[in-house]
Chains A and B, each alone.
Chain A
Amino acid sequence: MEKKVEVLIVGAGPAGLSAAIEVARGGARVLVVDENGVAGGQLFKQIHRFFGSRDHSAGVRGFEIGTRLLRECENAGVEIMLNSVVWGLFPDMTAGVVFFNKHNVAVRAERIILSCGASENTLNFPGWTLPGVMGAGAAQTMMNIHRVLPGKEAIMVGSGNVGLIVGYQLIQAGCQVKAVLEILPEVGGYKVHANKLARLGVEILTSWTVVEARGREKVEEVVISRVDSKLQPMAGSKRTISADLVCMAVGLSPLAELAWMAGCRFGYFPLLGGFVPLHGANLETTLPGIYVAGDISGIEEASTAMEEGKLAAVSVLESLKRISPAEAAGRRKVISQSLVSLRRGPYGDFRQKEKERIFREFEKVKEGSGGYH
């Protein structure tokens, strides 16, 4: 079976939905495909208030933003196909999509926006396959979406914002957080999140990591160790803690297989999650007609993902001649300024620099060679 669409968006998270709303409002026919049963990506499990300025929904909780995006999609006439999997993307702008686990369709699109998000990184210490060891994001989904407490006594591995926020939410849900481990000498996430845990008496152990999980049928105890300056476990520093849950919050990687398969060129940007499809400031990849937005274009936050979605949409509308170059330039300027303001401060400056490095690498590839593929 074949289907033609003007704009195909892969992933109905904050980036994909924001892009879809703008594209539909601009008059283009848009189809959003998502493998999950609910649209919104990670927003519906984010019960904490967002930071930033009022323009970026500061003070609003993630699930409220998700609800608002879905309402706007409905008003704009966006078609969202859930429980539908994109299993391949080919250089002729055709995506292989299985709708509802039943119908395999070759979807031919004039423009494609990849907003597939990211997957959680993991650590493979002995015992990591025992029930009770999981990604922090998985634990958050169990608690906040399915209302299932993933454990009673938890060790959180990683003190970035995901580790700190999920650690706090575990406590809110009735779980005891025995310790937050950070392999580096400094806490990774926002001070305000770390302080919330500290006020509740949770130990945040810097220069510590997990070395083993033990148990018969599931996790019963966890061995942790201090690490040296090379981040290797130090002899004689091990401690055994009783726990039934180990959450790993050790970073995210862009979900970029479709971009690899299509033939996009990549760069390596460890501060943004690793291999990232190179893209210009308008978010077009090295393959004309294919755009990226959100975590796939470098791991950041939902607020930047939404702005990037809008930015990709403006570029798509301009290339389809739905808006004039002048209008596109004007709208791009507003969104870019907004992105710059989101990438400011001690947790933002490095992201701004890395994004600029991506744009420069992209220009180099456009001019000649380079980039991984």
Chain B
Amino acid sequence: MRNRNCGNPIVCRCEEVREKAIVEAIRNGAHDVDAVRRVLRAGMGLCQGKTCGPLIARLIARETGKSMPVLLPARARPPVRPVKIRVLSEK
């Protein structure tokens, strides 16, 4: 029994972004969590990066040698929780 994609696990499960894609984005210059989000949508799903944010920060730290305090979480934007657009647009 073995996993497919064993060397390339999912990092952001909401948007189904895998580790290799993130590492490639980092090597192409996405050196903070926000940049990775902009390139790949990682952290833009239902949980808004609560699960994958720290994992992505760790990958950036590993690839770039930046230390954790410098790696801020992705910019928090409203809505931080899944909310229906219909509800927000009602007067």
Contacts and interface: CB of A to CB of B under 8 A. Distances in A.
Interface of A: 1, 35, 85-88, 90, 96, 98, 101-104, 119, 121-122, 124-129, 212, 214-216, 220-221, 253, 255, 257-258, 260-261, 268, 270, 274-275, 372
B39 interface: no
Contact of A124 (B19, B73, B87): B19
Which 8 pairs show the lowest CB-CB distances between chains A and B? Answer: A88-B78, A87-B79, A268-B69, A257-B76, A260-B76, A257-B80, A261-B76, A126-B6
B50 A119 contact: yes
A128 B84 CA distance: 29
Contacts of B13: 129
Contacts of B69: 268, 372
Chain B interface size range: 20 to 34
B5 interface: yes
Given A129-B13, A257-B76, 14 more contacts: A86-B81, A87-B78, A88-B78, A104-B83, A104-B87, A124-B52, A126-B5, A126-B7, A126-B9, A214-B3, A257-B80, A258-B76, A260-B75, A270-B68
Given A102-B87, A124-B55, A268-B68, A87 B80 contact: yes
18 contacts: A86-B80, A87-B81, A88-B80, A90-B78, A98-B83, A104-B83, A104-B88, A119-B50, A122-B55, A124-B19, A124-B55, A126-B5, A126-B9, A129-B13, A214-B1, A258-B76, A258-B80, A260-B76
B59 to A, nearest CB: 9
Q: Is the interface of B mostly helix, strand, loop or mixed?
A: loop
Nearest to B53: A253
Contacts of A98: 83, 87-88
A275 B11 CA distance: 21
Contacts of B90: 103-104
A372 B83 CA distance: 28
Interface string B1-21: 111011101110100000100
B11 A87 contact: no
Contacts of B19: 124
B54 A253 contact: yes
Contacts of B91: 1
